A = this chain, B = another copy of it.
Amino acid sequence: MISVDEARGRILEALRPTPSEVVALAEAWNRVVAQDVVARLTQPPADVSAMDGYALRAEDGGLGARLTVIGEAPAGHPFGHGVGVGEAVRLFTGSVVPDGADAILLQEDATRDGAIVEVNEAVVQGRHIRRAGKDFSVGDVVVPRGRRMTARDIGVAAAANHPWLSVHRRPRVAILATGDEIAMPGEPIPPGGIVSSNSHALAALVRAGGGEPVVLPVARDEHAAIGAVADAVAGIDMLVTTGGASVGDHDLVIEALKARGMTLDFWRIAMRPGKPLLFGQLGAMPVLGLPGNPVSAMVCAILFLLPALSRLSGLPGAPPPVTSAILGAGVKANDQRADYLRAAIDLDSAGRIVVFPFAVQDSAMLRRLAAADALVLRAPHAPALLEGAEVGIIRLDSLGL
């Protein structure tokens, strides 16, 4: 058996980021930028006022001084002339500070009477003026390549004057469910059959991870049907299969794809749920074979497919984020396999996260999985822990998983 980290490392090592494409800024949220976003202008473009008020020479702005208002400069309408001795120009947040002025008299510190404004609070040179380039200057990298664009990054890329961005293509992940017993939701169900859930849950997980799912038709247990899959992977960045990874007699899919040239490693991973995992290549396309049990499939997808999606998207492909929580109930010692316990979370009176592993951890109980808020991480050979001990958890709710 190999460890979860080793398996993930081997998968990530085999993957390359997708090539780039150009998308409109408005479509770039949550995409991974493929090139540094470099400022095309300086922000602010000139010295601007941070407040509503009057621009004047600092030495003219003593308490009780009276100045002549020679004009106004709304934002976007700079004042065309300089400000001389005893003069002031009305301006607003974002207005360019006119030449000659080096101080701002705040509106609330001024009394206006016709063309005259009186100073009720002495000004301070440079105060309330935002200097040109205070936020960024032409040529600054405002969003580094390899970053997934947040809403704030979209704002800064806009301010830096980028209507288009070069981003990694969304990884296209094909999902193959197999088996004569599987029906799509709403379609006729064969005797003793069940409705396909893995394909749809995995497709949603691919979306959550920033990829584009391609749900393949369910492959019947026939060589011809499966051969068709191998012929239909053009433009696919990764193939994910579920089931067929046991030592059973019915892993026809794997046999059929191997006959088409797929190289495939079978790994026994020291984890629960989900010991068996397949990883290989069909031509240039990586193939990840997840267990068929729905809970095992989802847990393995969180641990291996999500990082793979990150890597394909141009990110490093780190493990899912682990946060710490307090155990609400004791857990027993582990054997040689890592455990990922489905659990509910709650907040205690101090606002700390308390986690309650479910008493039953059946790997076929999809509804219990859906009700879980988190997975509790238990390392191989971890000792028993009492209520109140600190553990690492993977939050499922916040990831949309």
Interface positions of A (Cβ within 8 A of B): 25-26, 29-30, 41, 43-46, 50, 52, 73-78, 92-96, 107, 130, 134-136, 140, 142-143, 148-164, 179-182, 184-187, 189-205, 207-208, 215, 221, 246-250, 292-294, 298, 321-324, 351-353, 362, 364-370, 372, 392, 396-398, 400-401
Contact = CB atoms under 8 A, between A and B. Distances in A.
Nearest to A52: B248
A29 B400 contact: yes
A192 B45 CA distance: 7
Given A52-B246, A159-B294, A43 B77 contact: no
Contact of A45 (B30, B153, B194, B196): B194
A135 B363 CA distance: 10
Contact of A201 (B75, B152, B204, B364): B152
Contacts of A150: 204, 370, 396-397, 400-401
Contacts of A392: 351
A130 B364 contact: yes
A243 B293 CA distance: 53
Do most interface residues of chain A lie in helix, strand or loop, or is the interface mixed? loop
A306 B74 CA distance: 32
A155 B294 contact: yes
B94 A155 contact: no
A52 B291 CA distance: 14
A136 B367 contact: yes
Contacts of A401: 150-152
How many copies are assembled?
A: 2
A214 to B, nearest CB: 11
A140 to B, nearest CB: 8
Nearest to A75: B181
A79 B76 CA distance: 80
A154 B397 contact: no
8 contacts: A29-B207, A50-B364, A52-B248, A135-B365, A143-B370, A151-B208, A151-B400, A162-B186
A191 B30 CA distance: 33
A197 to B, nearest CB: 4
B46 A194 contact: no
A370 B214 CA distance: 33
A195 B398 CA distance: 33
The 8 closest A-B pairs by CB, nearest first: A76-B181, A155-B201, A163-B186, A151-B204, A76-B180, A29-B204, A159-B197, A78-B192
A134 B365 contact: yes
B154 A250 contact: no
A204 B152 CA distance: 8
Given A95-B192, A155-B369, A159-B197, 7 more contacts: A46-B192, A74-B181, A75-B179, A130-B364, A152-B396, A161-B186, A323-B353
